[in-house]
């Protein structure tokens, strides 16, 4: 799966997702894009999943009709490492257009 990490998501999350192509917004040259434009760029770039730590995104953006799945995770890298198996399971099972928040 092709995954884009938002600006606020630790880039080391990529190491927790073996078997997936994980790129950062910065690496894509999208460092100056805000969430709405970033999500649109990700969809245009054939990304299937957008991982962010911005828990307000569903209130700030109209996510209706999006093709890309959105996963909201903690910014706490240690916490994400502790839940690596669960994170990978969520990523492997998320459906196109889905929105999901993880609270670990």
- What's the sign of the alpha-carbon dihedral 81, 83, 86, 90? negative
For 36-93, what is each residue's pLDDT tens digit? 999 999 999 999 999 999 999 988 887 888 999 999 999 999 999 999 999 999 999 9
pLDDT, position 97 = 95
For 10-42, what is each residue's pLDDT tens digit? 999 999 999 999 999 999 999 999 889 999 999
Where in the sequence is the domain holding 54, given as residue range(s)? 2-101
Instruction: Give this prediction's pTM.
Output: 0.94
Residue 63: strand, helix, or coil:
coil
Total structural domains within the chain: 1
Q: Residues 38, 6: contact at Cβ < 8 Å?
A: yes
The answer on pLDDT for 94 being more than 90 is yes
Tell me the CA distances in angstroms from 13 to 2, 63, 66, 83, one per residue in order: 14, 23, 23, 11
The structure tokens listed for 92 are: 């492997």
User: SS3 letters for 19-59?
Assistant: CCEEEECCCCCCCCCCHHHHHHHHHHCCCCEEEECCCCHHH
């Amino acid at each position: 799966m092709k995954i884009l990490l938002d600006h606020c998501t630790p880039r080391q999350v990529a190491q927790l997702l073996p078997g997936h192509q994980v790129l950062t917004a910065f690496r894509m040259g999208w460092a100056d894009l805000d969430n709405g434009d970033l999500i649109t760029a990700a969809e245009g770039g054939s990304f299937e999943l957008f991982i962010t730590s911005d828990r307000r995104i569903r209130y700030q953006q109209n996510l209706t009709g999006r093709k890309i799945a959105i996963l909201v995770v903690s910014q706490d890298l240690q916490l994400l490492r502790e839940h690596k198996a669960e994170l990978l399971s969520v990523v492997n099972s998320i459906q196109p257009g889905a929105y999901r928040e993880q609270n670990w």
